[in-house]
Structure 1
Amino acid sequence: MNTAGASAASAPFDLGNVKRLPILISLIIGAFFSILNETLLNIAFPELMIELNVSAPTLQWLATGYMLVVGVLVPASALLVQWFTTRQMFLGAMTLFSIGTLVCGTAPEFGFLLAGRLLQAAGTGLMLPVMMNTILVLYPPEKRGAAMGSIGLVIMFAPAIGPTLSGLILESLQWRWLFYMVLPFALFSIVFASIYLKNVSQPTKPKVDVISIVLSTLGFGGIVYGFSSTGEGHGGWSSPEVYGTIIVGAVALLLFVLRQLRVKEPLMDIRAFRFPMFTLTAILLIIMMMTLFSTMALLPFLFQGALGMTVFASGLLMLPGSLLNGLISPLTGKLFDKFGPRALVIPGAAFLLVLMWFFTRVDIHTSKVEFLILHICMMVAISMIMMPTQTNGLNQLPPRYYPHGTAILNTLQQVAGAIGVAFFIGIMSSGQRRFLESSTAPASPAQLAEATVAGVHNAFLYGFGFAVVALVLALFIKRTKTPAQ
């Protein structure tokens, strides 16, 4: 057995007398408000452009910068969780997030607001891997499904209510209240964790490989930035700023992978991919995150551009499905513990394939009720796939790979989200252009609405193709057991 990276794993404590529920609650409280923040601000962008006197491409840095920091920090988390205790990592992450929230709420200009957002992102980027790694250490494999399901509830529920909640707040209050209302809860999570969160691992402080950190930052940061920039006024895929950063990121990422296979104590141990179910999990999660993020981006275009709905109404229409996705995550986790992954993932993938076909058939005459039902069903299908797959893949890893496995999956999810949004919106935009080029009245509202529908159809056709791949992969999934050290 390969021992590389064995010393890099945090040494476990005696968990016999540790109360798991208070620790899980501590993690959920902190994660909820840090993840909620990802989607809370977007709906306020029009107001921010006026008040801060900045352009849309400049303002998009509030979203791009956030994703960029998370994408850069998550890979390094595999090292950080081995240098610091559970309490130090969690409390440090929430402190960064709270400071960033305060800076955002009191920001006198755009530069301060951006700085606050980047601090918030740093807290979120450290939070997610710590949360998942703690669950892997704290719960035995036969009970992880329910625990990971609880985490899935937070991961899906928080961003789902973000746009709707911010819409309600902005109806009567200034945008700064989006931060003022989060800050007390963030501080409460710090106090609660200070009392109830216990350390579940012993730091081993492995050697820090500076070259790996630099390559990781350039690789993941370049790819996330490049794909996130395609729709932000940089000229699309033809812009050197876009394809240049993607090329630099890809080359740096290749060098990063090669270095991880050579060094004694890798920053992110790529050898985790030697375990087949973990590899299958990584590919399925990439497809699911691309589908999820792209759908969340495409449907508002359809609702607002073709059906004439307001931003707030669009958020309300998508809210039930997203909420249900989060609420049934604990249930799918318990079913996973009892029946294994195949009973959930294969039916979920087949269900998703059917739903994506229905999405390719929608038009301006499709009723809001039909959209509501389709979106609810799609989110249920994704819930049946994501957490069971992720738990099953991580279960196959030996304990020494836990920090690396969680860092790999969290990083891939960030990168897949950025790529998915850019890819599908690019497909939609090209479909719109082709429709309008052949139109006799391209400026008429009716033709613009039809162009939006045509573009979304094109994007969902590609989504249908991804769903086919997901179903084929799901057929190969099987229940795993944690091997010996």
Structure 2
Amino acid sequence: MTAPIETGDIAEFEQDFAAGTVAPGRTPLVIKLLVAATFVVILNETIMVNAVPRLMTDFQITSTTAQWALTVFMLTMAAVIPVTGWFLQRVSTRAAYATAMITFSAGTLVAALAPTFGVLLVGRVVQASGTAVMMPLLMTTLMTVVAAEDRGRVMGQVTLAMSCAPALGPAVSGVLLHMGSWRLIFVAVLPIAVLVGFFGHRALENVGETTASPVSWLSVVLAAGGFATFVYGLSKVGNAEWQEPTLLIGAGVVLIAAFALYQVHLQRSERPLMDLRTLKHRNFAVSLVLMSAGFMAFLGSMILLPLYLQDLRGLSELQTGLLVMPGGLAMGLLGPQVGKLYDRIGARPIVIPGSVVMVALLFGLSRIGAETSYVVILALHVALMISLATIFTPVFTIGLGDLSPQLYSHGSSLLGTLQQVSGAIGTALLIVIMTNRGKHLAEGGASQGEAFVGGLQWAFATGAVIGVVVVAMALLLPSKADAPAAHH
């Protein structure tokens, strides 16, 4: 998962930290600790995917209600992440870490003991609130303590948490559900979270300086209401009459627009909740569009393949999890190598070929049928995840590297928010296209299996079209980030 913490790491980091430097080619202890913690908390975003049938039985609820165990986590992330830019500037690294891990652990305990489904949802909300702090904290700290020429390699280690954890979630839960109750999922995670939190807090050093600034509560309400409503509307697409999702999405867009305008107003007095001046930095703006399109294709395909394997091919949740797990592991393990390559040759020689290959592989997945060999599916999925690793690691690095240090936390927060939103958009879009195409084919006389495959093929083809945006944005990237000092 991460490199082991060696004897002498703490002392060496303290020396480096005091000198304001970190030895080249060496990953700071603070980053190792934050990657480990981020891995643990992000794992929980997808770990309940296989537990929905068990929840339906235990709590006597419908599948639509049970899905809230997944949806509420995503909604909370979308609502809380916009606040993290302000939060991370106001509190120390250790305080932010302690807040995130205590909150996450408390939510995990509540979920493990939940006597009712409502209490389980409360636990998931609390879990997600802690998770929402970790990724921006990791990104902001990395940009602060790692020298520019070494950031690609270290950012590659972040890919471990970003990609391996969601990919492992279904497989881990499949094994635990095979052993017993859904509560085992939380019982297994809790001691790991507590240990990582405890030892991490003991070893962490504070990074950067805090700034005391008042919180704009109107901004908090607009951000939380806007992003949560928008993502909730997207989650309802295909599961409700068109009026309800449309109204929710529309209301979310209005609230998000009001939030953005209010942030521009607050920037004049230097107290925005999320500083949108990050968007004036060209490389960051290009990276943001590229990452959003990439996550739409990435998360959309993460949803489609399990649906195909379980609903059409009849695999169990555990078998499905094990089949898609190699792709996530390949993506995560390749991240550090891609990062090292970025440090040597820059972004364009890696991202442009990677994005072209991604589009080709998504088109390849759009040709799978009811009898396609599992070996072919596995190979396509692993290759797709590898191509995404060549995109995400350099783009994260070059995007945040374009910002001045005081904007790191705001840039990380905006990046995290758009990951959630674009993932929800991609998932909703591809599911709707698959459903509508399948329905059209069924009405035309196709069998249930033929209709499903036809819908799936159109959905993957749409993912490939979204991937063309990634290629276009990749062509706009510079080879290396501009020096942040050049920006004002």
Q: Confirm whether residue 123 of structure 1 aligns to residue 130 of structure 2.
A: yes
187-196 or 275-284: bigger deviation: 187-196
Q: Separation in 1 of the partners of 2:315 and 2:54?
A: 18
Deviation at 1:389, TM superposition (A): 0.7
C-alpha distance after superposition, 1:124-160 (max 9, x if no partner): 0111111111111111211111111111111111111
* Equivalent pair of 1:305/1:449 in contact (CA under 8 Å): no
Q: Deviations 1:100-120 (Å, cap 9, x if unpaired)? A: 111111111111111111110
Q: Who is 1:59 aligned against?
A: 66
Which stretch shows the higher mean deviation, 302-311 or 59-68?
Answer: 302-311
Residue equivalent to 2:53: 46
Paired residues in the alignment total: 463
Does 2:89 match 1:82?
yes
The 10-residue stretch of structure 1 (179-188 or 203-212) with the greater mean CA deviation from structure 2? 203-212
Which residue, 202, 213, 226 being the options, matches 2:220?
213
Q: Equivalent residue for 1:16? A: 20
Partner of 2:484: 483
1:408 corresponds in structure 2 to 414
- 1:152 aligned partner: 159
Provide the C-alpha distance between the structure 2 equivalents of 1:396 and 1:290, rounded to a whole number of angstroms.
Answer: 23
Query: Contact conserved, 2:297 with 2:464, CA < 8 A, in 1?
Result: no
Residue pair 1:141, 1:481 contacting (<8 A) in 2 also = no
Counterpart of 1:480 in 2: which secondary structure? Answer: coil
Q: What is the CA distance between 1:252 and its match in structure 2?
A: 1.1
Aligned to 1:106: 113
**Larger displacement relative to structure 2 (206-215 or 172-181):** 206-215
**3-state DSSP of counterpart to 1:476:** coil
Aligned 8 A contact 1:277 1:396 in 2: yes
**Structure 1: how far apart are the matches of 2:464 and 2:164?**
25
Contact 1:436 1:451 in 2 (8 A): yes
1:309-320 matched pairs, under 5 angstroms: 309-320=315-326
Residue 389 of structure 2 aligns with which residue?
A: 383
Match of 2:450 in 1: 450
- After TM superposition, the structure 1 = structure 2 runs for residues 24-35 of structure 1, keeping only pairs within 5 Å, are 24-35=31-42
Helix, strand or coil: the match of 2:481? coil
Show the counterpart of 1:239.
243
Equivalent residue number for residue 257 of structure 2: 254
CA distance in 2, matches of 1:288, 1:476: 15
User: Which segments of 5 or more consecutive residues in structure 2 lack a partner in the other structure?
Assistant: 1-16
**Cα displacement string for residues 280-323 of structure 1 (whole angstroms, at most 9, x for unaligned residues):** 10011111111111101111121122222222222111111111
Alpha-carbon distance between aligned partners in 2 of 1:458 and 1:135, rounded to the nearest angstrom: 39
Q: What stretches of structure 1 of length at least 5 have no aligned partner?
A: 1-12
Distance, in Å, in 1 between the alignment partners of 2:184 and 2:318 is 17
Find the aligned partners of 1:100 and 1:257 in 2 and give their Cα distance: 31
Q: CA 1:25/1:483 → structure 2, altered by over 3 Å: closer, same or farther? A: closer
The corresponding residue for 1:171 is: 178
**Contact 2:229 2:248 survives alignment (8 Å):** yes
Residues 180-200 of structure 1: CA distance to partner in whole angstroms, max 9, x if unpaired?
111111111121112211100
Q: Pick from 368, 377, 397: which aligns with 2:403?
A: 397
**Amino acid corresponding to residue 16 of structure 1 in structure 2:** G
Cα distance in 2, alignment partners of residues 66 and 201 from structure 1: 30
Report what 1:227 is aligned to.
234
Q: Give the AA of the match of 2:89.
A: Q
1:354 correspondence with 2:355: no
Give the structure 2 partner of residue 434 of structure 1: 440
How far off its partner does 1:174 sit? Answer: 1.6
Which amino acid in structure 1 is aligned with residue 254 of structure 2?
V
Asked whether the 8 Å contact 1:215–1:255 carries over to 2, the reply is yes
For residue 470 of structure 2, what is the aligned residue in structure 1? 470
- Equivalence for 2:376: 370
Match of 2:13 in 1: none
The whole-number CA distance in structure 2 between the counterparts of 1:260 and 1:163 is 38
Shift of 1:481: 2.6
Shift of 1:224: 1.1
Q: Does 1:298 align with 2:304?
A: yes
Paired with 2:57 and 2:50, the residues of 1 have a C-alpha distance of: 14
Amino acid at match of 2:253: A
Q: 1:420: how far off?
A: 0.8
Q: Secondary structure at the match of 1:328?
A: helix
With structure 1 as the length reference, what TM-score do the two structures score? 0.93
Distance between the aligned counterparts of 1:288 and 1:14, measured in 2?
38
TM-score of the superposition, structure 2-length normalised?
A: 0.92
Q: Take 1:375 and 1:173, find their aligned partners in 2: how far apart are those partners?
A: 30
Q: Distance in 1 between matches of 2:202 and 2:311?
A: 49
Q: Does 1:282 align with 2:283?
A: no
Secondary structure of 2:265's aligned partner = coil
CA distance in 2, matches of 1:180, 1:300: 25
Q: CA deviation at 1:14?
A: 5.4
Change (3 A) 1:113 1:361: same
Tell me what 2:12 maps to: none
Distance 2:30 2:301 in 1: 33
- Identify the range of structure 1 (129-138 vs 354-363) with the bigger mean alpha-carbon deviation: 354-363
1:279 to partner: Cα distance: 0.8
Deviation at 1:17, TM superposition (A): 6.7
Partner of 2:11: none
Contact 1:301–1:452 (Cα < 8 Å) also in 2: no
SS of residue matched to 1:320 = helix
1:370-396 superposed Cα distances (whole Å, 9 cap, x missing partner) = 101100110000110012111101111
C-alpha distance in structure 1 between counterparts of 2:110 and 2:484, whole Å: 46
CA distance in 1, matches of 2:21, 2:254: 47
2:204 alignment counterpart: 197
Determine if contact 1:145/1:336 at 8 Å carries over to the other structure: yes
Contact 1:39–1:159 (8 Å) recurs in 2: yes
Equivalent residues of 1:15, 1:138 under 8 A apart: no
AA aligned to 2:252 is G
1:307–1:449 contact (8 Å) kept in structure 2: no
**Does the aligned pair in 1 maintain the 2:22–2:147 contact within 8 Å?**
no
What's the CA shift for 1:469? 2.0
